[in-house]
Amino acid sequence: MHFTTLASGSSGNAILVGEDNRNLLVDCGISGKSLLHSLSLLNIADLEIEGIVVTHEHVDHIRGVGVLARKLKIPIYATAGLWEVMSPLLGKLEDNQRREVQQSFSCAGLDVLLYPTSHDSRESFGLKVSRPKCKDKRNLAVGIATDSGMITEEMHHHLKGCDAFVVEANYDEHMLKFGSYPEYLKKRIRGQYGHLENKQIAEGLVEWMTENTQRIILVHLSEENNTPEIALSTVMRILRNPNGSRDYLDVPVQVAPRHSPHDLIMLNEV
């Protein structure tokens, strides 16, 4: 099983999860053309993308969804509430491209579970994408959490024990506080329906990590209120001091590039 990010931040987000030559996309917040270019950089053929799952209707998550689905002739998976607000934004789709889903479904041979996050959109979801159980292979799962003002109960429940994490480290509280954003926007970002702060996500990760954890990618960093260096050092400091006996020193943590794909990460099978 593998995963990576194709774009990250308020200019557009997209995550890829797959196994062998079957993949699904989580959001496509960049243009269809940029997304296809990113896939070519990773040597992933258009035919290897089997669907797009949408986390919520904000433009940095759906900008290229309609175009890409038409171009690749693939289905889009979203909840009924999201379809209601997204439909006018996506353009013309074939009936079989509109997949209305509830909490769980399968795409590209993987099991996808949606859980609610806390964000100022019509509905918003994080995901757990797992390889279905099979007898001679370990069960692997990638936990995804972006665009949430807080760590929700459901996030705790579903992300605990995942083998890899793609999680939001949106802002540094100090940078936000002393930054140039107007007060109302600062309030929105740090509010219950805004975004996750570096320390907040690190504290979540400490709860969810186990001896199975292989990789962490930090995504959706604010350009104004965070830097890759601050996000990494804050998260690493907390992971290395989890106030207990566990030590996560050797789990690689990386920051997703804003405008280009991260290298494809292969999860260890054993």
Q: How far is the CB of 49 from Zn ion (least distance, A)?
A: 21
19 is a site residue for Zn ion (CB under 5 A): no
Residues 6+ away with beta carbon under 8 Å from 14: 5, 6, 7, 25, 26, 27, 28, 29, 30, 35, 38, 64
- Token duo for residue 59: 């433009």
Contact segment (CB under 5 A) with Zn ion among 141-149, 181-189, 207-215, 235-243 equals 141-149
66/131 with CB nearer Zn ion: 66
Among the listed residues 50, 147, 168, 197, the single contact to Zn ion using CB under 5 A? 147
> What sign for the dihedral angle of Cα 112, 14, 139, 73?
positive
Contact mark string toward Zn ion, 199..238, x via CB under 5 A: ----------------------------------------
101/221 with CB nearer Zn ion: 221
60 is a site residue for Zn ion (CB under 5 A): yes
147/172 with CB nearer Zn ion: 147
Contact segment (CB under 5 A) with Zn ion among 43-51, 80-88, 139-147, 152-160 equals 139-147
> What sign for the dihedral angle of Cα 81, 116, 215, 141?
negative
> What sign for the dihedral angle of Cα 47, 48, 51, 52?
negative
58 is a site residue for Zn ion (CB under 5 A): yes
Between helix 65-72 and helix 32-41 the angle, nearest 10°, is 60
DSSP at 44: -
Chain residues binding Zn ion by CB under 5 A are: 58, 60, 147
